Amino acid sequence: MRATLRVRRYDPETQPTPTYKEYPVDLPQYGTVLDGLLDVRDRQDGTLSLRCSCRSAICGSCSMRINGEARLACKTLVNKIASPGETITVEPMGNMPVIKDLVADMTLFWDKVRAVEPYLQPVGPAPEREYLVSNEAMERLTVAMNCIMCGACVSDCTVLEVDKTFLGPAALAKAYRFVDDPRDGRKMERLEKYTQTSGIWDCTRCNMCVQVCPKGVAPMERIMQVRSMAMEAGFNKTRGARHASAFAEIVKESGRLDEMGLALKTYGFFKAGFTLTGIGLRAFFRNKLPPLFHRPIATAENVRRLFRRLGV
Ligand code: SF4
Ligand code: SF4
Ligand code: FES
């Protein structure tokens, strides 16, 4: 199949800004984007830099943005994302500096993974024989253990785009993997740490990490599990925890979200006024301020019934 790869080329040491170069490729029916790039490097331009190793979606090293979305190049079939003759845009991962061309500097990624202490920390004497873990626990953990550290979720995380201090989806999915492991003895310390600023409560649930993860880890869902575990363990005084409780409380009461009430319950009266007045004014002048008072909804009882059925 014929296609054109439009590749972002950039060498920060010699170029002031990135450029895009187009390379025509002719691939077999089941050729991947990685096959195309390797063909470009072998036959057309030996200066093209990229990372790859296993070519089987196992090692996680060939993550890059393909048509604007983070993917494994070795798992992306050209015929699935383009019609014959079409152009495919290939760029390095986002949210990370570029070392050269398609090679991103993953220091930020690894720093965040290290920050969640990604290793078991059992307490007490070791058992005489091996640690035994129930099948149910292993089934839960396996989802997070499938992570191949490719960085795709971090590349496309919308919070990391504006706040590089956020621990991010990969590290927090890893955090879940240890906080829910029955062999770990530091569950409470871990939960306390993950509930701090830049932790679990900073995720906006945009779902991008779920969409791009090539291994079904669904990092956002793992973050929600850590949130529930933190609330159950009593870590419910943080702003994020108050926000979640207030959100549910308001919807349960009135059948809809009251944004003003949510801000007051989350921040408290004085702090809400101090912190949110500027945002409120900007929203007002852009005609985006939500109504201060909502009319009651006649069918709110249906929503309350849903809450009762869920036992919350
Ligand atoms: S759901 Fe949360 S962690 Fe995942 S990409 Fe969005 S903000 Fe980032
Ligand atoms: S969670 Fe998924 S996308 Fe993120 S690093 Fe792991 S395998 Fe890659
Ligand atoms: S080369 Fe290993 S995951 Fe693509």
Q: Which atom of ligand 2 is nearest to the CA of 152?
A: 3
In this prediction, what percent of the chain has a pLDDT beyond 90?
A: 80
Q: Which ligand is nearest to the CA of 226?
A: 1
| Cα(38) to centroid(ligand 3), Å | 13
Mean pLDDT value of segment 293-307: 90
- Ligand 1 atom 8 nearest Cα: 157
Query: Residue 185 class from Cβ within 10 Å (0-12 exposed, 13-18 middle, 19+ buried)?
Result: middle
The yes-or-no verdict on residue 279 having pLDDT over 90 is no
Q: Say how far apart CA 216 and CA 238 lie, in whole Å.
A: 30
- Ligand 1 atom 5 nearest Cα: 157
CA dist list (Å): 182 to 42, 136, 138, 176, 205:
49, 11, 9, 12, 27
- Is 152 touching ligand 2 by the criterion CB < 6 Å? yes
Domains and CATH numbers, the chain: 2-104 (3.10.20.30), 107-232 (1.10.1060.10), 239-310 (no CATH)
Q: Say how far apart CA 191 and CA 152 lie, in whole Å.
A: 25
The yes-or-no verdict on residue 289 having pLDDT over 90 is no
Q: Which residues line ligand 3 (CB under 6 A)?
A: 52-55, 57-62, 72, 74
The yes-or-no verdict on residue 101 having pLDDT over 90 is yes
Q: Which ligand is nearest to the CA of 153?
A: 2
| Cα(127) to centroid(ligand 2), Å | 33
- pLDDT at site 127: 84
| Cα(21) to centroid(ligand 2), Å | 29
- pLDDT at site 294: 84
Q: Which ligand is nearest to the CA of 148?
A: 2
| Cα(116) to centroid(ligand 2), Å | 15
Confidence of residue 136 (pLDDT cuts 50, 70, 90): very high
- pLDDT at site 311: 85
Q: Is the pTM of this model over 0.75?
A: yes
Confidence of residue 5 (pLDDT cuts 50, 70, 90): very high
The yes-or-no verdict on residue 174 having pLDDT over 90 is yes
- pLDDT at site 139: 94
pLDDT digits (tens, 9 = 90+) for 77-96: 999 999 988 999 999 999 99
In this prediction, what percent of the chain has a pLDDT beyond 70?
A: 100
- Is 203 touching ligand 1 by the criterion CB < 6 Å? yes
Q: Say how far apart CA 142 and CA 5 lie, in whole Å.
A: 36
